[in-house]
């Protein structure tokens, strides 16, 4: 045990001595947590603001629009502007986002209770995902309001009660708590954030204590010490686990602190409670060990730092896509929590939205990650011997 602790201290001290890399290992995860916490409310606030901005729609045949429709459009923040020229060409080229064509006799058809149609031309690619200024949803809402006004007017003229338009009413109440509303986005992003930080937080030291030492020719000095192969591997693994857990804790801290410091105008009072962040950190620990073991296995088989970095790229992708998979394909039974990475993602997602966490799901998640770690350690030790370390290609 003393040999393991000596190796652990030695690897940590080597990492800490590289002050630039150590600062990055602490600062980057903290900034990542802040970024993820700010991203969702910032986008939500931006999109909501865009939805409330007044919009102008070019119209061909504006002279055929009655004043009631113009007033309704104006009440929804929509201004109708007369357009002359080739509207279809203007929209296809991106000069205009959308345009409305009002046929001749439109207002007469409405007045005479005849069918009346408007033609909407739209280029959904204009302006990109956030720069577009047209909202078809707002236009549809305005037309629905106009249709209701016309329908009520027609019913009144025939002496029919307006209640026939609404035979069934609906009273809706949102019973979600602010914490649950904050968790809707977090249930998708928080598991991915956990996976990314675990991989990135431990990747540098996992490569450095294996392929890095091979490249620097310092591994031979360690192998001639009284410590055995198992002691050396476990000591190095503990150092990797320590250095991946520390950034994860800082990321969770930055995520929670930033989400709580944002103004209410951005969050609407919906922030994640500290219990969710601490729970996510706890559930991620067994997963961190498993990923660390896999990173060590990958790094052991390489001879240079650069080769190990290239070999670790697929691992990052596997972790991210598996974490995302739990959001799109939630577990249908508790036994699915045994699947490493997937089980942790599902558990953290349920925790974020304030769902009921079953103790058997927690135990199965821990068992899946720890069991996979044990299997990984067994095979890693097969790779981690003096001959392979010194002479493997």
Helix axes 359-383, 274-300, angle to 10 degrees: 20
- pLDDT for 38: 66
Closest CA to 298 of 378, 204, 211, 194: 211
Segment 225-270, tens digit of pLDDT: 777 778 888 888 998 898 888 888 888 887 777 777 766 655 555 5
CATH number at 112 reads 3.40.190
In a domain, 50, yes or no: no
Strand order in the sheet with 98-101: 78-82, 55-60, 98-101, 119-122
Work out the average pLDDT over 293-307: 82
Work out the average pLDDT over 158-185: 69
Please give the structure tokens belonging to residue 132: 């577009």
Work out the average pLDDT over 50-73: 83
Let me know the angle formed at the C-alpha of 386 by 381 and 389, rounded to the nearest 5 degrees. 80
Question: How far is Cα 85 from Cα 88, in angstroms, rounded to an integer?
Answer: 9
In a domain, 46, yes or no: no
125 and 263 part of one domain: no
23 and 68 part of one domain: no
Please give the structure tokens belonging to residue 68: 């009631």
220 and 309 part of one domain: yes
> How many other C-beta atoms are found inside a 10 Å radius of the C-beta of residue 261?
12
72 and 32 part of one domain: no
Question: How far is Cα 250 from Cα 32, in angstroms, rounded to an integer?
Answer: 9
State CA 4 to chain mean position distance.
Answer: 38
Question: How far is Cα 381 from Cα 390, in angstroms, rounded to an integer?
Answer: 15
311 and 229 part of one domain: yes
**With a threshold of 0.75, does the pTM exceed it?**
no
* Residue that finishes a domain, picked among 139, 165, 191: 165
Bigger pLDDT: 345 or 45? 345
* Residue that finishes a domain, picked among 140, 165, 190: 165
> Does position 181 have pLDDT exceeding 80, yes or no?
no
- pLDDT for 180: 62
- Classify residue 153 by its DSSP letter: H
- pLDDT for 131: 47
> Does position 171 have pLDDT exceeding 90, yes or no?
no
314 and 378 part of one domain: yes
Specify the 3-state DSSP secondary structure of 81: strand
Which stretches within the chain are classed as H helix?
2-17, 19-52, 67-75, 87-92, 106-111, 128-131, 136-157, 178-207, 213-216, 219-223, 229-261, 264-267, 274-300, 305-328, 342-352, 359-383, 386-391
In a domain, 173, yes or no: no
27 close to 105: Cβ distance less than 8 angstroms: no
Segment 190-236, tens digit of pLDDT: 888 888 888 888 888 888 888 787 777 777 677 667 777 788 888 88
Segment 318-358, tens digit of pLDDT: 888 888 888 788 888 889 999 999 999 988 888 877 766 88
In a domain, 318, yes or no: yes
φ, ψ (nearest 5 deg) of residue 177: -85, 160
Average pLDDT, the chain: 79
Specify the 3-state DSSP secondary structure of 284: helix
> Does position 129 have pLDDT exceeding 50, yes or no?
no
- pLDDT for 97: 82
Residue with tokens 């030790």: 381
107 and 65 part of one domain: yes
- pLDDT for 367: 95
Bigger pLDDT: 363 or 381? 363
In a domain, 272, yes or no: yes
Residue 97 CA neighbour count, 13 Å, CB half: 16
In a domain, 171, yes or no: no
In a domain, 47, yes or no: no
Question: How far is Cα 98 from Cα 120, in angstroms, rounded to an integer?
Answer: 7
> Does position 53 have pLDDT exceeding 90, yes or no?
no
380 and 359 part of one domain: yes
In a domain, 351, yes or no: yes
* Residue that finishes a domain, picked among 115, 138, 165: 165
Question: In this structure, what is the dihedral angle of CA atoms 28, 30, 32, 34, given to the nearest 10 degrees?
Answer: -140
Number of domains in the chain: 2
* Cα radius of gyration (the chain): 30
DSSP 185-196: HHHHHHHHHHHH
Which residue range forms the structural domain that includes residue 128?
56-165
């Amino acid at each position: 045990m003393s040999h393991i602790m000596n190796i652990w201290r030695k690897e940590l001290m080597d990492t800490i001595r590289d002050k630039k890399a150590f600062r990055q290992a602490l600062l980057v995860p903290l900034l990542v947590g802040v970024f993820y916490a700010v991203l969702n409310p910032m986008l939500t606030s931006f999109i909501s603001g865009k939805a409330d901005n007044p919009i102008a729609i070019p119209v061909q045949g504006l002279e055929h629009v009655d004043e009631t429709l113009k007033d309704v459009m104006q009440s929804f923040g929509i201004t109708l502007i007369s357009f002359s020229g080739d509207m279809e060409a203007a929209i296809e080229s991106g000069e205009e986002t959308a345009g409305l064509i009002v046929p001749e006799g439109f207002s007469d058809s409405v007045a005479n209770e005849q069918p009346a149609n408007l033609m909407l031309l739209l280029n959904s690619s204009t302006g990109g995902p956030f720069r577009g200024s047209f909202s078809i949803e707002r236009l549809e809402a305005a037309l629905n309001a106009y249709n209701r006004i016309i329908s009520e007017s027609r019913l009144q003229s025939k002496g029919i009660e307006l209640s026939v338009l609404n035979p069934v009413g609906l009273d809706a109440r949102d019973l979600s708590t602010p914490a649950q509303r904050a968790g809707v986005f977090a249930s998708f992003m928080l598991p991915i954030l956990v996976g990314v930080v675990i991989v990135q937080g431990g990747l540098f030291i996992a490569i450095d204590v294996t392929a890095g030492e091979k490249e620097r020719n310092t591994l031979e000095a360690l192998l001639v010490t009284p410590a055995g192969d198992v002691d050396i591997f476990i000591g190095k693994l503990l150092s990797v686990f320590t250095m991946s857990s520390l950034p994860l804790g800082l990321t969770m801290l930055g995520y929670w602190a930033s989400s709580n410091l944002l103004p209410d105008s951005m969050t609407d009072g919906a922030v994640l409670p500290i219990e969710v962040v601490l729970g996510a950190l706890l559930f991620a620990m067994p997963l961190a060990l498993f990923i660390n073991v896999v990173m060590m296995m990958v790094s052991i088989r390489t001879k240079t730092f650069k080769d190990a970095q290239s070999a670790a790229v697929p691992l990052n992708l596997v972790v991210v896509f598996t974490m995302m998979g739990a959001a799109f394909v939630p577990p249908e039974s508790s036994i699915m929590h045994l699947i490493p990475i997937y089980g942790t993602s599902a558990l953290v997602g349920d925790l974020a939205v304030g769902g009921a966490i079953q103790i058997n799901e927690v135990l199965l998640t821990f068992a899946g990650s720890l069991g996979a770690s044990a299997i990984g350690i067994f095979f890693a030790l097969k790779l981690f011997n003096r001959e392979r370390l010194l002479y493997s290609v």
